[in-house]
Structure 1
Amino acid sequence: MTTAARAPRDGRPEPLTVDARTEGGRTLLRARGELVQGCTDLLAAALAALPPDTARVDLDVTGVVFVDTAGLAVLDTLRAYGRRRGVPVAATGWRGQPRRVLELTGLDAVDPLRGGLPADLPARTAGAVARERAEQLDVLRLEIAQLRQALDSRPVIDQARGVLMAAHACTAEQAWEILREASQRTNTKLRQVAAAVTRSAVPGGAAPPEPLRSALAAAVRRVSTAARDPRESCDRSPARAGRRAAG
């Protein structure tokens, strides 16, 4: 059984499917997809098709990836079936976003049918989904801000790597290691370290502050020591390398 119920996340439907397997009077229903508007009809149809001698129904929602304000209505449908038929029912396997909605709603995240459902479940669900979406939006905003900062920082970091490569005859990867280590040693943002290195390369530009200058020198020495080929050492500038070759 399937339904093309559409989740409001990105407009693309992810059909809900419910597969039934009965063994020894126990029926296992496996739900996959999204619990959204219209999913209760699908579950009701699956329950109605169960054998009359069904003694227990377990709904496994491990494959459910999304729940909206209408999705948790399946709990009422399943619980009503259990009361009407006089059989125990359970809904387990909650994880990811559906589990988060259950937790915000105040239901048991292991089996929300345990202990009964609150009368104000629809209102609780609406508030839980709204809160969960707000938290997701905050996370996305933070990620976007971090990406923008990274994009803004990339040019100055690339310039600083070029300065270090020219000054110490090192590779781009070694120059990156120098910047990163100096940033960690001084607890300074990588972009600020790169900006200081770039400014120091401009004629008449100010040298980096002493703590940062020392950290850069230490990083250069470490990277130079770790270099496999002495000819690629970051401990030498191109001019120094030329003088040694001439001598």
Structure 2
Amino acid sequence: MASTASLALPGRQETLVIGGRMDADRALLAPRGELVRGSARALAEKLARLPVGTARIDLDMSGVHFMDTAGLEFLEVLRDHGRRWSVPVTATRWNGQPRRILELAGLDTTDPLSSPALDGTPSPVVSAVAREREERLHLLQEEIEQLRQAIASRPVIDQARGILMATHGCTSDEAWHILREASQLSNTKLRDVARSLTACAEAEGAAPPEEVRTALSRALARRSTR
């Protein structure tokens, strides 16, 4: 049986699925998808349905390809369950972006549940690095937000590059540099420059703002002189 949680991200709907099986009195769980808001609830529901007498719980995290700071809540749920029922719990085989999150959070990437911050054991190291960990988490949240914005902006930027390539006979790389230069010259976010360009290409579309038009013209002119 698998537990699922509906996890909303900009531009798409994702689902975390927690599959698993019993090996004697050992529960082997395999989450797949993304650890974001709602994933901790899905894990709690899965753990609540484990058979009475489960003596060990091991999670294989290799199927998780994205995680934000809500993934730390996911780990707390697993840790608290282990403490409540006095059973060993592990979460191993992290890779890719989730592994990077654990590194930034200062946790053991082999098994974060063994880290001082999550094993419930008082440690002088925890208090010494608490502020540094908080700063890391803040940077981590910013990095995740930038990644989400980049994912949401990619389609319109690619469309704007296509318009420049078709209109001015430039390559994909040249179109990218033109958009980036126009963004810098007009002090406008790159995705907003791209939206303005794609909007004016539509039927009855409005022309880009004057500062964007001027910046695009200058960027195109510089390209022709190179």
Question: Which bracket does the TM-score occupy, shorter chain normalised?
Answer: 0.5 to 0.7
CA deviation vs aligned residue, 1:175-204 (integer Å, no higher than 9, x gap): xxxxxxxxxxxxxxxxxxxx79xxxxxxxx
CA deviation vs aligned residue, 1:23-46 (integer Å, no higher than 9, x gap): 132211110111121211211111
Aligned-pair CA distance for 1:66: 1.7
CA deviation vs aligned residue, 1:102-139 (integer Å, no higher than 9, x gap): 11111112211113325867885454232344478689
| Counterpart for residue 142 of structure 2 | 130
| Counterpart for residue 20 of structure 1 | 20
| Counterpart for residue 8 of structure 1 | 9
Matched residues in 1 for 2:114 and 2:66: separation? 21
1:52 aligns to what SS in structure 2?
coil
| Counterpart for residue 103 of structure 2 | 103
Matched residues in 2 for 1:150 and 1:30: separation? 41
Task: State the AA in 1 paired with 2:71.
Answer: G
State percent identity of aligned pairs.
Answer: 40
- Root-mean-square deviation (CA, aligned residues, Å) is 3.8
- Equivalent positions of 1:170-209 (< 5 A) are none
Aligned-pair CA distance for 1:6: 2.4
Matched residues in 1 for 2:99 and 2:49: separation? 28
1:34 aligns to what SS in structure 2?
strand
- Equivalent positions of 1:196-235 (< 5 A) are none
Matched residues in 2 for 1:32 and 1:93: separation? 12
Aligned-pair CA distance for 1:58: 0.8
Change (3 A) 1:131 1:93: same
Structure 2 runs not aligned, ≥5 long: 119-125, 171-223
Answer whether contact 1:68 1:129 (CA < 8 A) is retained.
yes
| Counterpart for residue 65 of structure 1 | 65
| Counterpart for residue 93 of structure 2 | 93
CA deviation vs aligned residue, 1:54-91 (integer Å, no higher than 9, x gap): 22111112111221232321100000111111111111
Change (3 A) 1:61 1:73: same
Change (3 A) 1:145 1:15: closer
1:71 aligns to what SS in structure 2?
helix
1:41 aligns to what SS in structure 2?
helix
- Equivalent positions of 1:113-128 (< 5 A) are 113-117=113-117, 125-128=137-140
Matched residues in 1 for 2:13 and 2:168: separation? 43
Aligned-pair CA distance for 1:51: 2.0
Scaled by the length of structure 2, the TM-score of the pair is 0.56
Change (3 A) 1:44 1:157: closer
2:113 aligns to what SS in structure 1?
coil
Matched residues in 2 for 1:91 and 1:5: separation? 22
More strand, by proportion: 2
Answer whether contact 2:6 2:15 (CA < 8 A) is retained.
yes
Aligned-pair CA distance for 1:146: 11
Change (3 A) 1:76 1:122: farther
Q: Pick the structure with greater CA Rg.
A: 1
Scaled by the length of structure 1, the TM-score of the pair is 0.51
Task: State the AA in 1 paired with 2:60.
Answer: D
| Counterpart for residue 56 of structure 1 | 56
Matched residues in 2 for 1:36 and 1:87: separation? 25
Structure 1 runs not aligned, ≥5 long: 159-194, 197-247
| Counterpart for residue 46 of structure 2 | 46
Change (3 A) 1:126 1:66: farther
Change (3 A) 1:94 1:41: same
Moved more, 73-82 or 105-114: 105-114
Answer whether contact 1:7 1:13 (CA < 8 A) is retained.
yes
Question: How many residues in Structure 1 have an aligned counterpart in Structure 2?
Answer: 163
